[in-house]
Amino acid sequence: MPKPFTSPVEDSVPKVDEKIAVGENLEFQRKWWRFERVIWSVFLVILVCDVLGLFGRGWLSKAKLVSDDGELTLNYERMERSDTPSIMTLHFSEQAIHDGRVKIFVGRTILGPLGAQRISPQPVVSAIGEGGITYTFAATEAPAVVQIALKPSFPGPHKFTMRMEDGRPVEGSVFVFP
Amino acid sequence: MAIFVIFRAVFGYLFLVLMVRIVGRRPGKQLTPFEFVLIFYLGGLTLTGMVGDEASLTNAVTQILTVALCHYVLASLRYRFDVVAQVLDGTPLILLEHNEWRTDTMSRMRITDDDVMDMAREHKIKDLKGIDAAVLEAFGEITVVARKDDSK
């Protein structure tokens, strides 16, 4: 039968008062206490940033975009959280309504990475093309509001585009936290 | 994406190790109800972020394997490098020696002389004079060494 590997017992653990083997490393512990002091401050800063909305769902994350001609005002969150629902609100001015209709092109970023779940109210017509969808809504008079429910699934920065019929594109960006 | 599932599992594991290390060490042989709340609550909250909407068996198996691998790697590093062991477990700390309290250590670790005396009584030591040395072990227990002349 093979013998087990062995080695002699050596007195390698530091002793207290030359009597008790403890292995205390006070130098390391003092560094750790310093680290703990810093990390508690970091935790506090993270929580304050979170409450303020730096990581989404708060005051700092609210963003507003207005098209050059003022036809479209967009309220959204510039910081989103992955797999967390949010609402993007589109406000249309009186000039945006032509013949009882509002037409808007929504780029692919909103439909894909930002995870558009549903649009409210339902558009009369949805036409695909140009790498996005052009929605047509029935409208009477301003204020007219459309909401897009988002649930982003891809973390990271995302640029998006929207465009009113014959208007210049409105471009914004959203950062999605994991 | 599959890679995110693995990233989430790695992050969740390392984050919990860090949190439990920072918040966790208090004197006592067993978890008190207070610590049960902490451990289960932290675990439950981490689970939500790790699993997300992906509740498939494949996802669960992948994440369990990832956590197992992380644990294996950490355990190996802990065995090989003293500094990793100290970061993960901490170091034993002397609370009392030469008839003097280590007041700095006691206050930073939030340990009172009553905590030390609790443990001393378990060793049939009647008063603080009967303690030769007291040590807060890395795993949280307070070890009390009785003075020879007073121990019996």
Does the pLDDT at position A86 exceed 60?
A: yes
Does the pLDDT at position A165 exceed 90?
A: no
Mean pLDDT of A81-91: 92
Q: What is the pLDDT of residues A27-40, one digit of tens each?
A: 999 999 999 999 99
pLDDT confidence of B152, banded at 50, 70, 90? very low
Residues in chain B with CB shorter than 8 Å from the CB of A19 are 132-133
pLDDT confidence of B36, banded at 50, 70, 90? confident
Show me where the domains of chain A are located: 16-52, 62-177
Q: What is the pLDDT of residues B6-34, one digit of tens each?
A: 999 999 999 999 988 888 666 555 667 77
DSSP chain A: -PPPP-------S-EETTTEE----HHHHHHHHHHHHHHHHHHHHHHHHHHHTTTSSSGGGEEEEE-TTSSEEEEEESEEETT--EEEEEEE-GGG-BTTEEEEEEEHHHHTTT-EEEEESPPSEEEEETTEEEEEEE--SSSEEEEEEE---S-EEEEEEEEETTSPPEEEEEEEE-
In this prediction, what percent of chain B has a pLDDT beyond 70?
Answer: 92
**Considering only residues 92 to 151 of chain B, which have any Cβ-Cβ distance to chain A shorter than 8 Å?**
92-94, 97-98, 105, 108, 132-133, 135, 145
pLDDT confidence of B150, banded at 50, 70, 90? very low
Candidate from A17, A25, A36 with C-beta closest to B97: A17
pLDDT confidence of A149, banded at 50, 70, 90? very high
Q: Which domains are seen in chain B, by residue range? A: 2-89 (no CATH), 93-146 (3.30.240.20)
User: A62-177 is classed in which CATH architecture?
Assistant: Sandwich (2.60)
Question: Which chain A residue has its CA at the smallest distance from B92's CA?
Answer: A24
Q: Which two three-digit tokens encode residue B126? A: 């009647």
